Amino acid sequence: MSRFGKFPIFALLIALAALAAALFGALHNQISYSVGPSYFTDFKFTQFGTDPQMAPRLAAALVGAQASWWVGALVALPAFLFGLVAVPRNVSYFAAGIGAIGLVVVLATFAAIAGMLGGIIVTATGWLEGAVSLPEGVDRAEFLRAGFMHDASTIGAGLGAILAFWPMRRARQIDAMRHARQEKAPNE
């Protein structure tokens, strides 16, 4: 099989990773808006130039999609390039790519939850009081809860960029075993 035959699958997987990240960002921001509306109204909406007349939840979703889509493509790129070269079968490559996207989304979700809990603990206990510089005018507790959540999900996505190689490596191994069985079968 020609490696060039997998380029459309590669492009599709990158697009799906970007879409998954945009959806993740939009949904993530619904939760982080709930725990830290000031993070958005006093910081992110201004940073992203969001229309002040837009409904805050819709604006939060839009900011999440804008901030995240490219991260999905960037996080997926190394593993998908590896799979493009290393995984022989198109079907295996596509399945491994979907698995890698799912793995990154799950890791980022658990990291976001951990970050939100960390932000809640930090604000409830007063840890880091005065140690964190905040933008002018934001509510400290809300900013830290939402900010910790955002930072943690980014760390989760970064870890996902490394672990996304696992489905690709596994697909390569499965294809190699399948090929070895096919080579051996006619000789038996």
Residue 107: pLDDT band (50, 70, 90) is: very high
Q: Which residue has the tokens 């990240």?
A: 21
**Do the beta carbons of residue 94 and residue 103 sit within 8 Å?**
no
What is the chain's mean pLDDT, rounded?
93
Residue 131: pLDDT band (50, 70, 90) is: confident
Q: Is the pLDDT of residue 99 over 60?
A: yes
Q: Is 0.75 surpassed by the pTM of this model?
A: yes
185 DSSP 8-state letter: G
188: exposed, middle or buried (Cβ count in 10 Å: 0-12, 13-18, 19+) = exposed
pLDDT of 185 reads 67
Average pLDDT over residues 56-79: 97
Q: Tens of pLDDT along 16-31?
A: 999 999 999 999 999 9
Token pair listed for 59:
């604006």
From CA 73, how far away is CA 82, in angstroms rounded? Answer: 14
Instruction: Give the total residue count for the chain.
Output: 188
Q: Is the pLDDT of residue 118 over 70?
A: yes
19: exposed, middle or buried (Cβ count in 10 Å: 0-12, 13-18, 19+) = middle
Residue 1: pLDDT band (50, 70, 90) is: very low
pLDDT of 174 reads 93
